[in-house]
Amino acid sequence: MHEMSLAEGVIQVLEQSAASEGFTRVKTVWLEIGQLSHVEPEAMRFCFDAVCRNTLAEGALLEIIELPGTGWCHECSKEFAYQARYEPCPHCGGYQVQMTGGDEMRIKELEVE
């Protein structure tokens, strides 16, 4: 379950931000997770709750914003909703597709004290 190491990474970012920004408690974390990122939102919630114990984020609410996948076709130059990697372009059927979004995971916003 790689979500555990990702959740631990989020806590590290929160601790670094707390040290530089001067807050002592995290109340809410808004996390953007792309549909093609291979991160399961429910597994991430479970892992986040587990790694928050005894940290500045203990009891924090995790809000997950799921981002859709997007792709761009080199053959027909059209952008489209990309549901799965290695999927052909729905416009021309070509396979020269570049993923343009949906593989990211990032902290979008924090509510802190």
- Return the domain boundaries, the chain: 3-68+102-112
pLDDT digits (tens, 9 = 90+) for 22-75: 999 999 999 999 999 999 999 999 999 999 999 999 999 999 999 999 999 999
Average pLDDT of the residues of the chain: 96
Q: What is the pLDDT of residue 1?
A: 60
pTM for this one? 0.86
Q: CA 93, 99, 103 angle in degrees (round to 5)?
A: 135
Residue type, 59: G
How far is Cα 103 from Cα 39, in angstroms, rounded to an integer?
9
- Asked whether the predicted pLDDT for residue 95 surpasses 90, the reply is yes
CATH of region 3-68+102-112: 3.30.2320.50
Nearest CA among 44, 20, 42, 38 for reference residue 107: 44
How far is Cα 71 from Cα 34, in angstroms, rounded to an integer?
13
Identify the DSSP state of 88.
P
